[in-house]
Amino acid sequence: GVVLWIAPLLLGPDADVFDRLAGFAPHQVDQLRCHILDPRHSEVRDHLAATCRRLAVDYDLDGLKIDFLDQAMVYRGTPSTGDHDDVGEAMRVLLGQIRDELAAAGRGDLAVEFRQPYVSPAIGAYGQILRAGDCPGDAVVNRRST
């Protein structure tokens, strides 16, 4: 099977959609060479859900490994110009929208993976695979974390 690893909230300067979405990504992370999309905007959520749907259908994926969701927290406590004030609520809506888009495309069976540190009981409604944070070569940490 094919599982695609994506970081949907990271917007690089060379992305085809950079000019269209840069206004929704005011926070820049120099170390990652990208901007962080603010999920409190419906335009961001709509784009990300449609992108996940397109990738799943166009490439007949078996799964999506959705990573770097914790980066959205850079907007916690900041004023929002979007339709949601709370980052956590916006992320809940985003994940539900992704789930619904996949189901509408007939891909509700697609495996969705999340990793620590943003794994919680609430995220179980949006994915089937929860994995430990990065701990290469450390079987003990991996075992205790999962």
Q: What are phi and psi of 112, to 5 degrees?
A: -120, 130
- Structure confidence at residue 133 (pLDDT): 62
Which residue ranges make up each domain of the chain?
3-145
DSSP letter, residue 106: T
Instruction: Tell me which fold the domain 3-145 belongs to.
Output: TIM Barrel (3.20.20)
What pLDDT does residue 145 have? Answer: 57
Query: What is the rounded CA–CA span in Å between residue 1 and residue 60?
Result: 9
90 neighbors 39 (Cβ within 8 angstroms): yes
Instruction: Give percent above pLDDT 90 in the chain.
Output: 75
pLDDT of residue 57: 97
User: 45-64: per-residue pLDDT in tens?
Assistant: 999 999 999 999 999 999 99
pLDDT by residue (tens digit) across 82-140? Answer: 999 999 999 999 999 999 999 999 999 999 988 766 667 777 778 877 766 665 566 66
What is residue 115's DSSP assignment? E
